[in-house]
Amino acid sequence: MQGLPFQTITEFAALGLTLIAGLFFGLALHPGGRKWKERYRELDIESAAYRHQAETDLRDAQARVRELEAERDTLRKQAEAQEAAVAAAPAAAAVAASDADPGAGAGWRGWFGWGRDNLSRIAGIDEAREKRLNELGIKTYREIEKMTAEDESALEQRLSLETGTIAREQWREQAALLRTGHEQEHGSRFVEKPAAEPVETPAEEATVAEEPAAAEPTEVATSDEAEAEKTERENA
């Protein structure tokens, strides 16, 4: 008993009273502690619900971003496809015309399948423009001859030409003449300029005016001879 902090009966009684008082004090405080625990649980539930809603909104936003990116990529591909179709329209029309007519591409020059016409013979197409046409796949008279109005418009855009240039310069008509061998007609209509009509000079007009005057002495001489014959007959 000497090692214990409480040695007397009075001290043990005081300890027992303290424990009983603490028990009652704890029981008195118990309803309040439960109230705070319930509040904590409510806040924890609200926080979890907020986190869940935030995560849901974030997932929805990310999904919407992916949808917009996919739509953007689709529109970009469609635009590129349309540009490629516009660029390939003249060449496609030319290839179709060549396939339809085995005689297309008369005036072949080159070897190893590089058959092409001398497009620079068409008035309005120089060597630089002919090279650009060849790059676009247009190499023969037939391909130019078979172009439609839509093909002409698309080609003018590719060549940076003013709208209506091909029709105004009559590329298709020239290509048809050259393809069919009417080179002389093509030269007279589109290459050679008609010679100017000669204009009469004042000297020529004077010469023409003097010619009737030169005939007057003959008429005078004829009248004198007639008068002389008449005089001789009267004297006889």
What's at 102, amino acid-wise?
P
Q: Could you tell me if residue 58 is inside a domain?
A: no
- For residue 110, the model assigns a pLDDT of 43
Count structural domains, the chain: 1
Say if residues 96 and 102 touch (Cβ distance below 8 Å).
no
- In whole angstroms, what is the distance from residue 58 CA to residue 161 CA? 53
CATH number at residue 119: 1.10.150
- For residue 111, give the 3-state DSSP assignment: coil
The pLDDT tens digits for 75-104 are 999 998 888 887 766 555 544 544 544 444
Structure tokens at 76: 């970009």
Q: Is residue 103 a part of any domain in this protein?
A: yes
- Predicted confidence (pLDDT) per residue in 182-202, tens digit: 989 998 999 865 444 554 555
Q: Is residue 14 part of a domain?
A: no
pLDDT band per the 50, 70, 90 thresholds, residue 220: very low
Asked whether the beta carbons of 90 and 136 are under 8 A apart, the reply is yes
What are the C-alpha distances in Å from 169 to residues 4, 122, 136, 172, 177?
Answer: 126, 9, 20, 9, 14
Q: What is the pLDDT of residue 88?
A: 67
Report field, pTM of the whole predicted structure over 0.85: no
pLDDT (0 to 100) of residue 98 = 47
Rounded Cα distance between 170 and 188, Å, is 14
pLDDT of the residue at 5: 64
Q: What is the pLDDT of residue 4?
A: 58
Residues 125-183 have pLDDT tens digits of 999 999 999 999 999 999 999 999 999 999 999 999 999 999 999 999 999 999 999 98
Q: What CA–CA distance (Å, rounded) separates 193 from 35? A: 111
Asked if the structure places residue 93 within a domain, the reply is no
Distance of CA 89 to the CA centre of its chain: 11
- CB burial of 130-150 (b: ≥16 within 10 Å; e: otherwise) equals bebbeebebbbbbbbbbbeee
Neighbours of 188 (CB within 10 A): 12
Domain containing residue 135: 98-191
What pLDDT is attached to residue 105? 40
**Residue 114 domain-assigned?**
yes
pLDDT the model gives residue 193: 56
- The CA distance from 201 to 139, in Å, is 51
> 107 lies in a domain?
yes
Give me the amino acid identity at 118.
N
236 or 115, greater pLDDT = 115
What is the model's pLDDT at position 7? 66
Which percentage of the chain shows pLDDT scores above 90? 36
pLDDT at 10: 76
Q: Is residue 15 part of a domain?
A: no
Residue 138, in any domain of the structure:
yes
